[in-house]
């Protein structure tokens, strides 16, 4: 029996998340493992880079007690930052697009963060695009720190030095493929490089919402001039994030919102895991990859966050009204 000893801070509970083998869903010849990042204290994988980015800023003298942390986020990085800020004596201001789940905003405000909601129908470069707005607010607040997860190397390092090695340790270095989405690119690049350091033939699979430019860019080498829209939160982009190394990716799948939601229901009914909408995208892509293989492989993907933040996708009435049933 693996019984964890007491810790003296909730921040010490970040990481060391379980790996669950899928046993009740057809995964072809492969074994599919779910890394349950939903079990982090803030409820998502983003607790890891939040911790790394704040500690990096402290170490480099960019952040002092009582200072203001500013970030643009789909919510989960903001929750990780707000949790750490609360416990370490910082103020926190979070900018989120208006399509984000209400549960995330309530969580952020409960942690003491100031939340600014901006438009989700504008692209990078527009003053109301969430990252541009966060940067402009930081520029006006002297002494504040714009964390900028999209360009912050500590984000990538959290996954290269921590998440990736943790997965390798759990599977005795036997990892043949890893599937992730892209918000900042930190997870897929960081974990991918850590896994390829041990197994250079490890496949790195991009799971992308239909409408995002990343999967078509990978497939064709051409960045589309049209960006679609999608319901899934936190992954999919209208540009190539600076932390994303497209060269590391070997496979890519475009997953519709309906496929993602259906997969969330499947994982709950078959494996008992309540997952968020982006996890549905990842798991759907991972299952497709597994079924295409002709030999056994250990494949890992993420339950990026808990479905408690997206209960509408489990609401029968909402599903009928929005034609996802």
- State the pairing for strand pair 19-21/31-36: antiparallel
| The pLDDT of residue 85 | 96
Domain boundaries, the chain: 10-44+156-321, 47-146
| The pLDDT of residue 21 | 98
Instruction: Note down pLDDT in tens along the chain; length 325 residues.
Output: 667 889 999 999 999 999 999 999 999 999 999 999 999 999 999 999 999 999 999 999 999 888 999 999 988 999 999 999 999 999 999 999 998 888 899 999 999 999 999 998 888 889 999 999 999 999 998 889 999 999 999 999 999 999 999 999 999 999 999 999 999 999 999 999 999 999 999 999 999 999 999 999 999 999 998 889 999 999 999 999 999 999 999 999 999 999 999 999 999 999 999 999 999 999 999 999 999 999 999 999 999 999 999 999 999 999 999 999 8
Q: Which residues belong to the active site? A: 46
Tokens of 320: 């009928």
| CATH top-level class of 47-146 | alpha beta
| The pLDDT of residue 74 | 82
Residue 258 CA from chain centroid, whole number: 19
- 270 φ/ψ angles, rounded to the nearest 5 degrees: -95, -35
| The pLDDT of residue 197 | 97
Q: How many CB atoms lie within 10 A of CB 251?
A: 16
| The pLDDT of residue 1 | 60
CATH domain 10-44+156-321 topology: Rossmann fold (3.40.50)
pTM given for the model: 0.95
What three-state secondary structure class fits 293?
coil
Distance CA 120, CA 303 (A): 24
SS3 of the chain: helix, strand, coil, percent, to 5: 45, 15, 40
């Amino acid at each position: 029996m693996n019984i964890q000893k007491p810790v003296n801070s909730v921040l010490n509970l970040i990481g060391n998340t379980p790996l669950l083998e899928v046993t009740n869903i057809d995964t072809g010849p492969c074994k599919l493992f779910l890394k349950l990042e939903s079990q982090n204290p803030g409820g998502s994988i983003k607790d890891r880079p939040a911790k790394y980015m704040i500690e990096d800023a402290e170490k480099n003298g960019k952040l002092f007690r009582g200072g203001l942390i500013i970030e643009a986020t789909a919510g989960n990085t903001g929750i990780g930052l707000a949790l750490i800020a609360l416990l370490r004596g910082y103020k926190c201001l979070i900018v989120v697009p208006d399509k984000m789940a209400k549960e995330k905003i309530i969580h952020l405000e409960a942690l003491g963060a100031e939340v600014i909601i901006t438009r989700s129908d504008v692209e990078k470069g527009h003053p109301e695009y969430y990252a541009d707005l966060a940067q402009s607010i930081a520029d006006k607040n002297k002494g504040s720190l714009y964390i900028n997860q999209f360009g912050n190397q500590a984000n990538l390092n959290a996954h290269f030095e921590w998440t990736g090695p943790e997965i390798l340790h759990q599977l005795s270095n036997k990892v043949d493929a890893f599937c992730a989405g892209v918000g900042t690119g930190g997870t897929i690049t960081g974990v991918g490089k850590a896994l390829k350091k041990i197994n250079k033939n490890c496949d790195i699979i991009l799971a992308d919402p239909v409408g995002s430019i990343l999967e078509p860019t990978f497939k064709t080498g051409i960045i589309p001039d049209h960006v679609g829209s999608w319901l899934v939160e936190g992954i999919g982009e209208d540009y190539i994030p600076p932390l994303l190394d497209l060269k590391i990716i070997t496979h890519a799948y475009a997953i519709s919102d309906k496929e993602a939601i259906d997969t969330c229901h499947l994982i709950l009914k078959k494996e008992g895991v309540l997952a968020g909408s982006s996890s549905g995208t990842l798991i759907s892509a991972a299952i497709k990859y597994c079924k295409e293989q002709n030999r056994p492989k250990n494949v890992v993907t993420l339950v990026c966050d808990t479905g408690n933040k997206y209960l509408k996708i489990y609401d029968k009435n909402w599903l009928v009204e929005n034609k996802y049933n």
